Structure 1
């Protein structure tokens, strides 16, 4: 064990003629003793810089042994109050709330209208006033070959771009009136039962097809139309990668039926405008419900009477 050479020493009297000489001699002996002690205690080589840094870090760390991820609690209410008073005031929350939509989310004539099992069309028998037949390759006839004017113009540009890339898109199903949607839904109910029908077909008054903003695509071969395997066809692959450039999104994406209420439909495109479609694509946002901050609509809500809206 090493000492500093001064332990156990007591000051003696310093008066008298011999005092200064004795003090000087005593100091000389103490200095020699101290040097010998230091030589005995000093390491042979100085500690490496990393050790010194570690020591400095250890000294700078708080003495508490609590986890650094958990802030220590104040020991008394007074200490807590003092700590709270000393803490800086929290910064105001950032203004992250989305700005008011530039277009209506409920007007069927709006490009941003959101239609799902909780958000029916109003009026339920809505019909677009500007239905046109786009100049694209058709795989449908009658009203199913029609779209509203804005969607038709965007579809023409998209179909032309796909053709330029060597990919054939076809318009397989466009506008559907309230009456047509009622017949379509009824057919699903008869063949699959109502529960299954509600995962595959919208009830009349709840369909995007009725707005003229949505349509189904196919490819030139007709392979795998309206089945999940269509996702592997060139038309679906190209649309998934490029449709946003023309204002379209795949409205019912893979594994998001808990939000949209419908199973994956890689063929169902919805016009929402290039700005929103691109933001959704770049941000990895799959549904309109998520983008606009709306509630999920996995199933039809039950009214007080116990009947679903639109149920006869």
Structure 2
């Protein structure tokens, strides 16, 4: 729209055929270059850098360095540069993808299946203990509190493990509930050995672990291969869970190449219960993280 229509410039003659031809050739060249641009690595062709020896965050952290805060990751698993817009001019976030589901649950109540715990969202209270911890009737690779889950998660795990067994896949419960005291000891051990900054890349701080909620657990393969290591993603238990866990209400909580959102590198062994409807909707729509699904900010590091 012109602001001073009385001072419009005189009309210009149409471009020549030679000018149009040059523009078309240039456009075709750019299209060809875009089509030849190589894509980033896939989980099948490369593995995340570094490993952690045990499940400590919510579970083990398959990374030796801190998540990058200078890049964002897309739901498809490809890292991308941060947007050019500043927070002051960025477009508002779209509505939560979960808002269309038939039932809605709290994102802050520890007893809610939609609870989101990450480096920006600690448990409240920090020493929360689920009131309904039980030991599921599944193959166990651990004992004591690590063999416990809340009652809802345990029932769903029993159904999932049975379905996996029927498909010829042996799955074990490798790490379940972890108390605040246990997480404190685990985290402090990392701090003593590596320093606080490095510990934060390998273990969740006390009160920030999904394992304390009873809604999450780690799986192992029947053969015990690659436990809590990047190569576990290629084991039958991990492959089957990635393809089928949503039927039983579970998601892989820390997906490939989305550490700039979740704060943790790929953990193919760490499953989180959110309910069948939500898990299936996430799978169908290709949304990889709870942060994106529930319309929350990314949490690559502690504030």
Same fold (TM over 0.5): yes
- Distance in 1 (alpha carbons) for counterparts of 2:129 and 2:225: 31
For residues 33-44 of structure 1, the aligned pairs below 5 Å read none
- Distance in 2 (alpha carbons) for counterparts of 1:79 and 1:130: 77
The structural deviation recorded for 1:77 is: 4.3
Q: Which has the higher helix share?
A: 1
The structural deviation recorded for 1:192 is: 3.1
2:222 paired residue number: 220
2:95 paired residue number: 97
- Distance in 2 (alpha carbons) for counterparts of 1:251 and 1:97: 21
1:264 paired residue number: 266
Q: Which has the larger radius of gyration?
A: 1
Q: Are 2:95 and 2:295, in contact at CA under 8 Å, matched by a contact in 1?
A: no
1:185 is paired with a residue whose SS is helix
The structural deviation recorded for 1:190 is: 2.6
For residues 181 and 79 of structure 1, do their structure 2 counterparts lie closer, same or farther at Cα, with a shift above 3 Å needed? Answer: farther
For residues 221-300 of structure 1, the aligned pairs below 5 Å read 221-300=223-302
For residues 273 and 79 of structure 1, do their structure 2 counterparts lie closer, same or farther at Cα, with a shift above 3 Å needed? Answer: farther
Count of aligned pairs between the two proteins = 214
- Distance in 2 (alpha carbons) for counterparts of 1:233 and 1:211: 27
Runs of at least 5 residues in structure 2 that lack an aligned partner in the other structure: 9-93
The structural deviation recorded for 1:198 is: 1.1
1:199 is paired with a residue whose SS is coil
For residues 82-121 of structure 1, the aligned pairs below 5 Å read 97-98=95-96, 99=99, 102-121=104-123
For residues 190-205 of structure 1, the aligned pairs below 5 Å read 190-205=192-207
| Selected match of 1:206 from 208, 219, 222 | 208
2:139 paired residue number: 137
2:218 is paired with a residue whose SS is strand
- Distance in 1 (alpha carbons) for counterparts of 2:192 and 2:170: 34
1:34 paired residue number: none
The structural deviation recorded for 1:271 is: 0.2
TM normalised by structure 2 equals 0.68
1:136 is paired with a residue whose SS is coil
Runs of at least 5 residues in structure 1 that lack an aligned partner in the other structure: 1-72, 81-95, 302-312
For residues 78 and 268 of structure 1, do their structure 2 counterparts lie closer, same or farther at Cα, with a shift above 3 Å needed? Answer: farther
Q: Are 1:200 and 1:263, in contact at CA under 8 Å, matched by a contact in 2?
A: no
The structural deviation recorded for 1:196 is: 2.3
Larger RCO (CA within 8 A; separation ≥ 6): 2
